[in-house]
């Protein structure tokens, strides 16, 4: 005795043909060629005959289902079949899966070999992934969230934004205390209990992660811990601690993120050579630290380790720190780092890195630092998307050579029922971009008519001072010969900035000359990352300079500087004296 | 010393923002006078922009997909055979818009429109090729390039499938409000025009999907551009115009004798039956002005001129060049003009001007065969004459059957404008005129 799947035969190429009649029921003894169901295409009605005799064990269709060639109608227990394996005992010789599976319809989903089935699976539980999962659940979908690590939250929560900010806060306090002596408040030298600092960081992360886990439960989002890879357009294979599981889905959101670029030829096996994840572990406070890469991540970690007492050297390949930001925004940070005796070497490459007993030996090209031996080296030269690690080709999803997954404005990949979001759909790799995309993908998947409408994504470096920018930069405007006007307000004229002793900052707004509408902005200074939000809102709303200048900003705040910068552009500022041109 | 000259887009029949579908030269190419430089595709035709002089291409100012209008600079050619000794910048050598402008400024002025238009070329939707899917650079942000609407309004418009670029904002500075989007949808519903700019809201069932390869060997050939364009026009006209076809026969025995005589006397021109039909049609149009008309909303526009479109079969598909002022031209002149324009059509040299302004079209299959067919009206015209193959037939003249050369005519008309009796009268006037050409003199 063995089971046979009775499938829909060639029905003239019609797909999704509705079932208008079911002629058998479970338990029926049927003969070969006996009618099973009646289908009605736009051309004709047709009876689907049984391709073998036996007892109907299971019916896989119901009235109104839409069927295509190869879909399973019923499972038959047959005395005649000689094949042992049920799955292989397929009567039709054609391989039915691909046709059916690519369509996003429910049919063909109920693959008997799936251990778990769901309406939508989200692959990756970073900020984009959990947002997508939660939004999908809130929209009434049955969601499974697959995450390789036991904790939800991905890079951002566990080894990125959140722990780094916890450490940066410590750094800030240390610096504040140091400078308090300037206004007559002296503290003794900071004593650092590294274990306690680590615990604090982990507590911060833990609070958020447990919050996520709780919210997943409340929303009835099932989570599966393991590494998921595609095995078909409707199935993932998940390698869990307890073995492999097959998950069948109707729709999928790929949110598998990115990971730090590991430069080849570096002695990665040596723990003293770190990526950003390692650096956040805070194993020790190295006496000397080389940071390779003067971007946001490199400079944030440089700030942390410098405050904790390391002697920090930064090498950057480009001709400015934080490529992408306007040069003037970066200068106050570069000055401050220099003052804190962080050595910065631009247009410099770490060409050769060797791990020796006395330290990591580094050979440089370009404006090489004198020091060539470091206790630790942090490599922060960017992140690489994980698109290439998912066997996406088995689902028919195209992946670029670099590992990005191309999507449209609705976050759909080339396979319409599979979406992708976050770092692996393209730069910038930012959590707040990913969450926005995750929400969008979930809404589209649930049938809402949505697409990407945001025009700008802010970037923030949580260095000391912070640097934040959004929209058109002066550099881009110059390159493209755009007709712009700039309103720049130096914090030296801000009472608040003077009060906290941080006058190195400034706020600048960039306007379209033709319409006076704001198209960009950059802020450097304390809390720049918080201040930039107003600029983002203004750009999205299409504010004119006058809209910003004539909105009352509270005094004395750093936020005021945004209103003032608009007034500088308009020529109505009174907190500065700007001699009239001619 | 040779001189840089700008090549501008010539008169393209008043069309604006015509996309460049082909760039035929590249920088460094030596081009001859009249050699094709770029190909433009208007909604009516494709046309080549020829080089106005010979020289070497120094700079291309357009790229594939750019939309350009008359006067835009297409490219810069270093003219050969120029003997101008001046080394002044190129712009001054060409007819710059204003002499007073300094060269740099005027150059910018001319170049700008091209650049701006190219920016607004949308990213092809549903065709995911780029990572990230959305551009975050200035091109996607500058007020000139994006609709003036807040994120919530953008989301709302997407939900309703409204292209914000088509919505006029009622708020300060043209800012689009939610109410503007609602108003746009309402207006679109009332006028029956879908927001996608499509057509008529025919609620059709989907086109049958057939896997032809299942039944035997097949080959898939892309449609020519003309086929695609004319196909869309024909489908719209067929779906929107209530066609009725009136069939009749004209006795052209005498006409043909006259034509043969004319042909013998004027060997340099090919006198075809078509020119006679054009004259006869004009006479009929004069007598029945409703046929020389277009429907515009609730008004009938009557035309006081007589331009006749002639359907010409080309290897790439059907085109309809227009012969102007047929009423003012003699048979020989028309024959000559017809020969020229047919040759132009077959050589793909027809410009949009050659295809505009028609009042009535004639589609002749007389050289091939057939006894009748249903020609599709060339909107916004209201009637079209189909001509099939003439045959000698026995005709009863009252006392006996005589052999007469009979020409089958099929007149399709827009029943919204013309009723059956009028069509019958028009057709029979036409046959009478052709039977007795003297009628045309009346």
pLDDT 10s digits, B340-375: 998 888 887 887 788 889 999 999 988 888 999 999
- Block residue for tokens 């289908």: A39
Residues B105, A269: Cα–Cα separation, whole Å: 61
Is residue A576, in this structure, part of any structural domain at all? no
Tokens found for residue A197: 């600092």
- A13 to B214: CB separation less than 8 angstroms, yes or no: yes
Residue A83 and residue A28 share a domain = yes
Pick from B138, B169, B171, B174 the residue to mutate for testing the A interface (most A CBs within 10 Å).
B138
More confident residue, B21 or B437: B437
Percent of chain B at pLDDT exceeding 90: 38
Per-position DSSP letters for A547-573, written without gaps between them: HHHTSPPPTT-STHHHHHHHHHHHT--
- A453 to B155: CB separation less than 8 angstroms, yes or no: yes
Domains of chain B: 3-119 (2.40.50.100), 147-191 (4.10.320.10), 226-441 (3.30.559.10)
Grouping H, G, I as helix, E, B as strand and the rest as coil, residue A481 is coil
User: Contacts of residue B125 in chain A, CB cutoff 8 Å?
Assistant: 408-409
Q: What is the reported pLDDT for B202?
A: 64
Out of A179, A283, A550, A555, pick the active-site residue.
A555
Residues B151, A543: Cα–Cα separation, whole Å: 12
More confident residue, B229 or A214: A214
Angle between helices B420-435 and B253-265 (to 10 degrees): 50
Residue where a domain terminates, one of A357, A381, A405: A381
- A512 to B143: CB separation less than 8 angstroms, yes or no: yes
Question: Taking 60 as the threshold, does the pLDDT of residue B104 lie above it?
Answer: no
Angle between helices A431-445 and A127-138 (to 10 degrees): 30
Q: What is the reported pLDDT for B347?
A: 82
- pLDDT mean over B401-416: 95
Residue A123 and residue A86 share a domain = no
Residue A435 and residue A405 share a domain = yes
- pLDDT mean over A366-379: 94
Q: What is the pLDDT of residues A324-333, one digit of tens each?
A: 899 999 999 9
Percent of chain A at pLDDT exceeding 70: 92
Residue of chain A with shortest Cα separation from B130:
A406
Residues B77, A219: Cα–Cα separation, whole Å: 67
Q: How confident is the model at residue B128 (pLDDT cuts 50, 70, 90)?
A: very low
Residue A396 and residue A373 share a domain = no
CA distance A248 to chain B (A): 25
The C-alpha angle A416, A419, A420, rounded to 5 degrees, equals: 145
Question: Taking 80 as the threshold, does the pLDDT of residue A87 lie above it?
Answer: no
Question: Taking 50 as the threshold, does the pLDDT of residue A249 lie above it?
Answer: yes
A78 bridge partner residues: A2
Q: What is the reported pLDDT for B111?
A: 30
CATH number, residue A552: 3.30.390.30
ipTM of predicted complex:
0.73
User: Contacts of residue A541 in chain B, CB cutoff 8 Å?
Assistant: 150-151
Residue of chain A with shortest Cα separation from B146:
A455
What is the domain count for chain A? Answer: 4
Q: Which of B127, B143, B205 sits opposite A514 (nearest CB)?
A: B143
Q: Using an 8 Å Cβ cutoff, are B387 and B350 in contact?
A: no
Residue where a domain terminates, one of A381, A416, A431: A381
Is residue A111, in this structure, part of any structural domain at all? no
User: Contacts of residue B210 in chain A, CB cutoff 8 Å?
Assistant: 13
Q: How many CB atoms lie within 10 A of CB B130?
A: 17
Residue A401 and residue A374 share a domain = no
CA proximity to B303, closest of B323, B325, B332:
B325
Q: How confident is the model at residue B45 (pLDDT cuts 50, 70, 90)?
A: low
A66 bridge partner residues: A18
Q: What is the reported pLDDT for A92?
A: 36
CA contacts within 13 A on the Cβ side of B427: 26
Q: Using an 8 Å Cβ cutoff, are A374 and A80 in contact?
A: no
Q: The dihedral of CA A408, A411, A413, A415: what is its sign?
A: negative
Per DSSP, A325 falls in state: B
Residue A517 and residue A417 share a domain = no
Is residue A12, in this structure, part of any structural domain at all? yes
Radius of gyration of chain B (CA): 27
CA distance A401 to chain B (A): 12
CA dihedral A481, A486, A492, A498 (to 10 degrees): -120
Question: Taking 60 as the threshold, does the pLDDT of residue A1 lie above it?
Answer: no
Question: Taking 90 as the threshold, does the pLDDT of residue B72 lie above it?
Answer: no
Is residue A398, in this structure, part of any structural domain at all? yes
Q: How confident is the model at residue B441 (pLDDT cuts 50, 70, 90)?
A: confident
Q: How confident is the model at residue B43 (pLDDT cuts 50, 70, 90)?
A: low
CA dihedral B272, B278, B283, B284 (to 10 degrees): 120
- B128 to A404: CB separation less than 8 angstroms, yes or no: no
Is residue A267, in this structure, part of any structural domain at all? no
Q: What is the reported pLDDT for A62?
A: 81
Question: Taking 60 as the threshold, does the pLDDT of residue B266 lie above it?
Answer: yes
User: Contacts of residue B211 in chain A, CB cutoff 8 Å?
Assistant: 13
Q: Which of A405, A426, A456 sits opposite B141 (nearest CB)?
A: A456
Residue A485 and residue A559 share a domain = yes
- B134 to A512: CB separation less than 8 angstroms, yes or no: no
- pLDDT mean over B167-193: 85
Give residue A46's domain range: 2-95
Residues A423, A432: Cα–Cα separation, whole Å: 11
Residue A81 and residue A38 share a domain = yes
CATH number, residue A23: 2.40.50.100
Residue A396 and residue A376 share a domain = no
More confident residue, A45 or A389: A389
Is residue A318, in this structure, part of any structural domain at all? yes
Catalytic annotation present for A555: yes
Q: How far is CA A416 from CA A254, A459, B155, B441, in A?
A: 13, 31, 21, 68
Residue A392 and residue A248 share a domain = yes
Residue A247 and residue A292 share a domain = no
- pLDDT mean over B283-304: 92
Question: Taking 60 as the threshold, does the pLDDT of residue A295 lie above it?
Answer: yes
Q: What is the reported pLDDT for A126?
A: 96
pTM of the model: 0.58
Q: Using an 8 Å Cβ cutoff, are A124 and A147 in contact?
A: yes
- pLDDT mean over B424-429: 95
Q: What is the reported pLDDT for B81?
A: 55
Q: Which of B128, B205, B214 sits opposite A408 (nearest CB)?
A: B128
Q: What is the reported pLDDT for A581?
A: 62
CATH number, residue A299: 3.50.50.60
Residue A225 and residue A121 share a domain = yes
CA contacts within 13 A on the Cβ side of B67: 13
- A456 to B211: CB separation less than 8 angstroms, yes or no: no
- pLDDT mean over A404-424: 95
- pLDDT mean over B182-186: 88
Q: How confident is the model at residue A43 (pLDDT cuts 50, 70, 90)?
A: low
- A406 to B130: CB separation less than 8 angstroms, yes or no: yes
Q: What is the reported pLDDT for A83?
A: 37
Question: Taking 60 as the threshold, does the pLDDT of residue B47 lie above it?
Answer: yes
Q: What is the reported pLDDT for A95?
A: 35
Q: Mean pLDDT of all residues in chain A?
A: 89
More confident residue, A512 or A65: A512
Is residue A105, in this structure, part of any structural domain at all? no
More confident residue, A98 or B388: B388
Pick from B115, B123, B131, B173 the residue to mutate for testing the A interface (most A CBs within 10 Å).
B131
- A457 to B211: CB separation less than 8 angstroms, yes or no: no
CA distance A422 to chain B (A): 9
Q: How many CB atoms lie within 10 A of CB A502?
A: 20
Q: What is the reported pLDDT for B147?
A: 93
Is residue A322, in this structure, part of any structural domain at all? yes
Grouping H, G, I as helix, E, B as strand and the rest as coil, residue A385 is strand
Residue where a domain terminates, one of A95, A127, A146: A95
Q: The dihedral of CA A132, A135, A138, A139: what is its sign?
A: negative
- pLDDT mean over A19-39: 83
Q: How confident is the model at residue B91 (pLDDT cuts 50, 70, 90)?
A: very low
Q: What is the reported pLDDT for A13?
A: 66
């Amino acid at each position: 005795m063995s089971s046979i799947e009775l499938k829909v035969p060639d029905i003239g190429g019609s797909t999704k043909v509705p079932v208008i009649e079911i002629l058998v029921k479970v338990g029926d003894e049927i003969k070969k060629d006996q009618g099973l169901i009646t289908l009605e295409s736009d051309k004709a009605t047709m009876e689907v005959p049984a391709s073998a005799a036996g007892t109907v064990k299971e019916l896989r269709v119901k009235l109104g289902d839409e069927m295509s060639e190869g879909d399973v109608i019923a499972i038959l227990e047959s005395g005649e079949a000689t094949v042992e394996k049920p799955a292989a005992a397929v009567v039709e010789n054609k391989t039915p899966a691909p046709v059916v599976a690519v369509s996003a319809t429910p049919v063909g989903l109920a693959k008997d070999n799936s251990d778990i089935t769901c309406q939508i699976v989200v692959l990756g539980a970073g900020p984009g992934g959990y947002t997508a999962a939660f939004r999908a659940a809130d929209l009434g979908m049955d969601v499974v969230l697959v995450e390789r690590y036991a904790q939800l939250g991905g890079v951002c929560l566990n080894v990125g934004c959140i722990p780094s900010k916890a450490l940066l806060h410590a750094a800030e306090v240390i610096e504040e205390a140091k400078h308090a002596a300037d206004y007559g408040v002296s503290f003794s030298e900071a004593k650092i209990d590294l274990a306690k600092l680590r615990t604090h960081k982990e507590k911060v992360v833990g609070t958020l992660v447990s919050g996520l886990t709780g919210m997943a439960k409340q929303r009835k989002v099932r989570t599966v811990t393991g590494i998921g890879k595609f095995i078909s357009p409707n199935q993932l294979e998940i390698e869990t601690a307890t073995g492999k599981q097959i998950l069948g889905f109707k729709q999928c959101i790929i949110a598998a993120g990115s990971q730090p670029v590991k430069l080849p030829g570096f002695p990665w096996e040596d723990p003293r050579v770190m990526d950003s994840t390692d650096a956040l572990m805070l194993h020790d406070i190295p006496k000397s630290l080389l940071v390779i890469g003067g971007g946001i991540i490199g400079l944030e970690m440089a700030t942390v380790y410098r405050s904790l007492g390391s002697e920090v050297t930064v090498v950057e390949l480009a001709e400015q720190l934080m490529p992408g930001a306007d040069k003037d925004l970066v200068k106050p940070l570069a000055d401050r780092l220099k003052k804190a005796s962080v050595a910065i070497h631009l247009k410099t490459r770490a060409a050769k890195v060797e791990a020796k007993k006395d330290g990591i030996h580094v050979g440089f090209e370009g404006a090489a630092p004198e020091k060539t031996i470091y206790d630790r080296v942090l490599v922060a030269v960017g992140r690489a998307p994980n698109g290439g690690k998912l066997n996406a080709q088995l689902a028919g999803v195209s992946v670029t050579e670099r590992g990005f997954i191309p999507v449209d404005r609705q976050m759909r990949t080339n396979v319409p029922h599979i979406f992708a979001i976050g770092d692996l759909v393209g730069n910038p790799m930012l959590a707040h971009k990913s969450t926005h995309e995750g929400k969008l993908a979930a809404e589209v998947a649930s049938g809402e008519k949505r697409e990407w409408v945001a025009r700008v994504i802010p970037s923030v470096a949580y260095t000391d001072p912070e640097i934040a920018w959004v929209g058109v930069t002066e550099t881009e405007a110059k390159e493209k010969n755009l007709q712009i006007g700039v309103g720049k307000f130096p914090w030296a004229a801000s009472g608040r900035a003077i009060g906290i002793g941080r006058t190195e900052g400034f706020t600048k707004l960039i306007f379209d000359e033709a319409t006076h509408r704001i198209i960009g902005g950059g802020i450097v200074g304390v809390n720049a990352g918080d201040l930039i939000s107003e600029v983002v809102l203004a750009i999205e709303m299409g504010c004119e300079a006058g809209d910003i200048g004539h909105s009352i900003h509270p005094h004395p705040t750093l936020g005021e500087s945004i209103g003032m910068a608009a007034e500088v552009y308009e020529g109505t500022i009174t907190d500065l004296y700007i001699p009239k041109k001619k | 010393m040779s001189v840089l000259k700008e090549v501008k887009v010539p008169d393209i029949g008043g069309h604006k923002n015509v996309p460049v579908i082909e760039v035929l030269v590249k920088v460094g190419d030596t081009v001859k006078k009249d050699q094709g430089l770029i190909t433009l595709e208007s909604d009516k035709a494709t046309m080549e922009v020829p080089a106005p002089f010979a020289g070497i291409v120094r700079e291309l100012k357009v790229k594939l997909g750019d939309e350009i209008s008359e006067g835009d600079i297409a490219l810069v050619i270093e003219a050969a055979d120029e003997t101008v000794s001046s080394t002044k910048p190129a712009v001054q050598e060409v007819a710059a818009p204003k002499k007073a402008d300094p060269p740099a400024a005027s150059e910018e002025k001319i170049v700008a429109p091209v650049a701006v238009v190219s920016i607004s070329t949308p990213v092809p939707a549903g065709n995911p090729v780029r990572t990230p899917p959305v551009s975050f650079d200035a091109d996607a942000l500058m007020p000139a390039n994006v609709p003036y609407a807040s994120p919530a309004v953008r989301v709302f418009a997407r939900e309703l499938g409204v292209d914000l670029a088509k919505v006029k904002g009622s708020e300060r500075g043209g800012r689009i409000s939610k109410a503007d989007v609602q108003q746009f949808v309402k207006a679109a519903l009332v006028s029956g025009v879908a927001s996608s700019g499509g057509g008529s809201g025919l609620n059709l069932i989907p086109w049958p999907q057939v896997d032809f390869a299942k039944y035997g060997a097949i080959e898939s050939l892309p449609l020519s551009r003309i086929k695609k364009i004319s196909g869309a026009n024909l489908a719209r006209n067929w779906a929107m115009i209530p066609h009725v076809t009136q069939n009749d026969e004209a006795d052209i025995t005498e006409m043909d004798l006259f034509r043969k005589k004319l042909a013998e006397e004027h060997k340099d021109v090919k006198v075809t039956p078509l020119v006679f039909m054009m004259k006869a049609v004009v006479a009929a149009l004069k007598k029945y002005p409703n046929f020389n008309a277009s429907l515009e909303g609730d008004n009938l526009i009557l035309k006081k001129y007589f331009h006749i479109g002639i359907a010409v079969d080309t290897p790439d598909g059907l085109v309809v060049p227009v012969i102007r002022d047929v009423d003012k031209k003699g048979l020989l002149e028309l024959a000559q003009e017809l020969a020229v324009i047919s040759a132009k059509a077959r050589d793909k040299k027809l410009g949009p001007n050659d295809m505009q302004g028609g009042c009535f079209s004639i589609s002749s299959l007389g050289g091939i065969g057939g006894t009748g067919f249903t020609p599709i009206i060339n909107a916004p015209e209201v009637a079209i004459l189909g001509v099939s193959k003439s045959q000698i037939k026995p005709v009863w003249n009252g006392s006996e059957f005589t052999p007469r050369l009979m020409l089958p005519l099929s007149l399709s008309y827009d029943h919204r404008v013309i009723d059956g009796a009028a069509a019958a009268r028009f057709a029979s006037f036409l046959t009478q005129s052709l039977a007795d050409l003297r009628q045309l003199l009346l």
